[in-house]
Structures are given as structure tokens and as C-alpha cells.
Amino acid sequence: MRVLKAGVKRDDYNWRQIRPGLWQRDADEAEVFYSTLAKLYAGSGRMHFAITGHIALTISVPEDEDPEVVSRRLDESLRIAWLRQRYETPTIASSVHYDALDGKWKKSYRTIPDDASTKAWLERTFQVVSTGQTGEDWANSDPPAPTTPTLFVICPCAVITSQDPSTICIRRDLVLRSPHDIIDGIGTLHFLNSLVTKTTQAFTEGEFFRELPVFDGSEASNLSPPYRVAANIPSTPTPEHQTRLSTTKAPASQPLNPDIPFFEEIGIPYTKGSLLPGKHQRIAHYLSRERTSALITFLKNYHPGITVTHAFHAAIALTLRNAHLKLPSSSSTSSSSVKTSSSIYTNYLLRNERAACQPPYNTPLHCVSVYHSLPSTKLQVDMSSTPSTTSQEKRAEFETVLNHIKDYYTNVRDDPMHSALAPAIWANWTPVLPEAVLKGEEKIEVPKPKEVPSVSVSSMGVVDRILKRVHDLGEERGMKLEVHRPWVTGEELTNGLGVFLGTFDGELCLSCAFNEAWHDRKGVDEFLWEVERVVGGWVEGGTGVGGS
């Protein structure tokens, strides 16, 4: 391997060994965006958009097996799987830092060549938590946000009851905490699936699989490149791309619809007062299999082309409008005193770009990566400031909003330039920080709460396509390792809300990340219930849609 000299200024996105045991490459635009935001919010003592990935694992132990033996075997299998996963996807042990000498962000990977360094890495990144909490409760208790991806193995007191009263159920909840410049949400689900697969192999295959890999640098060939390399995006934009970029602004700076004479941009109401974020929190609603199936069947039969995400995004826009109309004028998220005729909800979408990547980067072998994008234009939904009254009006209004949102998603999906423009769009979104802040010598003032905090929507899709739900632990044992409650969030340090959608094992999960400095659990819970009511009312005939 060629060894680079310090001070090289050109962009170099290929992993290279710069000295024995150390590999490095430049971070790309998406990675730099998340690294920069972490610096921007460092003064809060928290990591903005830090990834939390969660799954619950259970084994139903039959009468002829010793639960203590099975429990110890599972814990040891998890530890072995974590080490083997590092060899297969070594980027999980990488980190991003600002190189003051080169004036650029770098991603680095260091090998662990001996038993002592392997043990030290395990002690730092594989942590068992025996507080009696569930993984979900622990994740809401202000857990640490390590600068290196870390797997927390939670040992809850509570168990998911087995249907067979003669069996004992062992449970472990896995919580992955990682900076967002290392891995994204969809990548986290793929990573957890691979980790569970290796756990199953370690549990069932005995000593053959339990022989630990040797981290002699050979694993560096598995390091994941940045998105622009994985998607084979030219380093110099084509003339067509350059023309498009010249007319593209960061969505946050794009003006609202100029054709509407009197409008008000609406956001989620919040409790004013605090200037610094507090604890990130998550709350989740689960739709039964019957309700989930009924919704999907309704969409397929009566609204082909409309997805569950489209429907819930439309409901979120209308729920925000309705909540805004109930506020006294002094509590409005806008300072305008002009009577408005239109309420505008604005947002953006995050799109998984793994399908745009070249093999093998479009596979789970490169799940530890930041392969997603932002659009070149933001979503704007114009709604009347006068709520609908009749069922027919409510239904018509919902479907107008729904079709507008569907068209926006479709236009982004069908944009032939979107994937190639993604790096430049990330660069447009990235704030410029003083050199002293980037170098860690100073901390910048934490951004104040947004005047109009929005509600974002991230869709995980059908998670069963990523995570295998049941793993056989061997016919002779008659045991299975089952996966429950998969979810991912990014640490929410603003006064907005982050809504997540995903279906697993036939159940739709509607969850929300929020910060307790500006929102309480009761208010967010009510918001999600209202979103559900709007969608349910539309499916059942429109009676739940619109203002009351």
C-alpha cells in the first residue's frame, strides 16, 4: 500500500494505510454534515443526531435445558458476534475527526493487532447493562453518546412471556449507539441483522465459529468507501449537473410559495423558555396486525401508488394545521399579525441511496456507511387556514394534501440527477464553523430553538425485508432466537419532532423522537394519536379528517 505524506490537500476518498495499523480517507459531504452538526451542538454536552438502534432478542428455553447455561451461551455468542462483525464491517470501529493540518475532515480506522488491544476495544465498545430496565427505557434515560460506535447489551428484568407456560423466556435488548457520521438508520438495521445472524452461528456452530478473527490489517479491505465512491459519482460535475446546481439552494433557504398573498408557515407548538436541549426521548405507537393489514389493503385497492408513508405524512401536515388553529394568537409559532388565508407546512425527506450504489456497496456488507440523501427542493404543503367542516370536505382536503405529498416523493424518486447531486446538496446544507470550533479549541453557542419547528418524517419501510425475525438455534435443541421491536432514531436536540414509520411482523410502528426541554410525553402522545385518528378516519370514510 502507498503511504501518504501529511499535508496533502487534494480530496482522497480511498482508504489508504498512512502508517502501520492506521488507515485513513477523507470524509465526504454527508459525513462532514453530521460531524459539523455534532460540533455545532457540542456546547450542549450532547451529540446531535447520534444514532440509537434497538432490537429485543428472546429465546424460549424448554424444560430440558438449563436457562442459566443458555443465558451464558447467548451472552458469549453476542460478544463473539460483535468481534466478528468488526472484521466483516470494520468501519464500525472507525471515527471521524477534523485534521487541522490539512484543513479537512478525515475518517480513520485503527487495527487491534494483539490480545490486549482487542480486550481493551471490547471493554470499551461492548457493554452489559444490568439495571433491570428494558432497552427502550434505558434509551430514554439519557444514555451516553460515545464517539466510537458501542453496543449496549441490556438485561431487563421483564421478559416477553412465552405462549408455552412450560418454557422460560430469556431476553436481551441490544442498543447500538453511534455518531451519525459512521452509520445511518437503514444501515443500522442491516448491521443489527448481521449481528444477530452471527450470534446465531456462534450459538449453534460451537468452537469452529467461536475461533476469533485475527485483526492483522487484512480486515481493512472491508472498509466502506464514502457515498460518492460507492455510487461512482464523478469528482467533477457534468455540465448538466452544474447547470442544475447553479439554480439549487439548500432547502432551508428556499423561499416559500410567492403566489400566496397571506400565508403563515406552521410548526409544532412547544414550551418556550429553555435555550438548551435536555434529554432526547422516544415514544411509540403500534398498530395491531389487523389495523395495519386493513390500511395496506385499503391503499392497494382504492389508492394504488399511495404508500403508508404518504398517508401518515399527509396526516401530520393536517394535524399540525389543526393544532395551530387552536392556539391563541399570542401562542402562534409565527410573529405575523396579518390575518392569513393559508397555512404552509414545510419539510424535507431523507432517502436511502443504497440502490444507487455499485456492487458490493449496495449490499449489507457495507451497511456501516452514510448512504442517504436530501432533496434539492423542500416539500411545501399549502392548506387553508379555515378548517373543513363536513365529512366530504375533510376527505377532499386530506386527499388533496395526500396527492401533493405523493407527487413530491415521486418527483424526488424519478429525478435522474438526484443521486448524483446528493454530495453537493449535503455541502449546501452544512454550516460553516470557525476553525477554532472545528479543531475543538472552542465551543460555539448552541443554536437557539427554532421559531417554526417542523416535524420530519423518516420511513424505515417494511423492516422484515432487512431483519430476519426468527433464527433457528438447532433442531436438537428445539430453540429459536426471535427478534422483536426494531427501531432507529437520531438524537433530537432541536425543538422539532422526528417521526419514524416502519412495519415489522405485520405491525406498523409510528414513533416520535423529541427533546424534553420543549415537549412533554403527554403532548407528543396526543399528537401521535391525532395523526392516527386522521389516517383512520380517512380509511373509514373521512369522518376523522380535518379540524374539529
What are the phi and psi torsion angles at 69 (to 5°)?
Answer: -65, -45
The type of residue at 32 is: V
When pLDDT is cut at 50, 70 and 90, the band that residue 256 belongs to is low
Amino acid at 34: Y
Element (H, E) at 342: strand 342-347
Beta bridge partners, 127, equal 152
Whole-angstrom distance, CA of residue 50 vs CA of residue 139: 12
Q: How far apart are CA 134 and CA 171, in angstroms?
A: 9
Count of residues making up the chain: 548
Rounded to an integer, the average pLDDT of 293-314 is: 96
H-helix segments, 415-520: 418-429, 435-438
Residues 517 and 472 sit within 8 Å (Cβ to Cβ): no
Q: Which three cell numbers stand for residue 136?
A: 427502550
Report the C-alpha gap between 185 and 351 in whole angstroms.
11
Is the pLDDT confidence value at 497 over 50?
A: yes
261/170: higher pLDDT: 170
Q: Which amino acid is at 320?
A: L
Q: In angstroms, rounded to a whole number, what is the distance separating the alpha carbons of residues 474 and 480?
A: 8
- Cis bond upstream, residue 360 (ω within 30): yes
DSSP string, 115-164: HHHHHHHHHHHEEEEEEE--HHHHHTS-----SS-EEEEEEES-----SS
Q: In the prediction, which pLDDT does 542 show? A: 45
Residue 358 Cα distances to 324, 364, 408, angstroms: 45, 13, 26
User: Is the confidence at residue 461, as pLDDT, over 50?
Assistant: yes
Task: Please give the CATH topology (third level) of the domain spanning 16-214.
Answer: Chloramphenicol Acetyltransferase (3.30.559)
Q: Rounded to whole angstroms, how far apart are CA atoms 224 and 202?
A: 25
> In the chain, count of helices (H) and strands (E)?
14, 19
> pLDDT tens for residues 369-407?
999 999 988 999 999 988 788 889 999 999 999 999 999
The owner of cell 434529554 is 279
Question: Mind listing the pLDDT tens digit for each residue in 72-84?
Answer: 999 999 999 999 9
Is residue 162 within 8 Å of 67, Cβ to Cβ? no
Q: Are 202 and 77 in contact (CB under 8 A)?
A: yes
Task: Enumerate residues 6+ apart whose C-beta is below 8 A from 341.
Answer: 260, 261, 262, 263, 384, 385
Per-residue pLDDT band at 211 (split at 50, 70, 90): confident
What is residue 107's predicted lDDT score, i.e. its pLDDT? Answer: 98
For position 387, what pLDDT does the model report? 79
Q: How far apart are the C-alpha atoms of 339 and 341, rounded to whole Å?
A: 7
Out of 42-46, 64-68, 143-147, 306-310, least confident range? 64-68
Helix, strand or coil, per DSSP, at residue 544: coil
Cβ atoms within 10 Å, residue 402: 23
Model pLDDT, residue 5: 36
Give the C-alpha separation, 315 to 299, whole Å: 15
- CA gap 362, 167 in Å, rounded: 41
Sign of the four-CA dihedral 300, 305, 308, 310: negative
Name the least confident of 84-88, 246-250, 265-269, 346-350: 246-250
Helix (H) or strand (E) holding 155: strand 150-156
Going from N- to C-terminal start, the domains of the chain cover 16-214, 262-330+341-428+446-464+492-540
Torsion of CA 407, 409, 413, 417, to 10 degrees: 90
Distances (CA, A) of 222 to 68, 269, 376: 36, 46, 32
* Other CB atoms within 10 A of residue 491 CB: 23
CB atoms within 10 A of CB 125: 19
β-sheet with 455-462: strand ranges across:
280-287, 507-515, 497-504, 455-462
- pLDDT, mean over the chain: 90
Task: Give the three-class secondary structure for 107.
Answer: strand
Do 16-214 and 262-330+341-428+446-464+492-540 agree at the fold level? yes
In angstroms, the CA 395 to CA 388 distance is 9
Cβ-contact 70, 77 below 8 angstroms = no
Question: At 543, is the pLDDT very low, low, confident or very high (cuts 50, 70, 90)?
Answer: very low
pTM for the whole structure: 0.93
The grid cell for 476 is: 436438537
Lowest mean pLDDT among 147-161, 271-285, 392-406: 147-161
Q: Under CATH, which architecture does the 262-330+341-428+446-464+492-540 domain have?
A: 2-Layer Sandwich (3.30)
Q: What is the pLDDT of residues 6-46, one digit of tens each?
A: 333 557 999 999 999 999 999 999 999 999 999 999 999 99
Q: Which of 467, 532, 528 is nearest to 498 (CA)?
A: 528
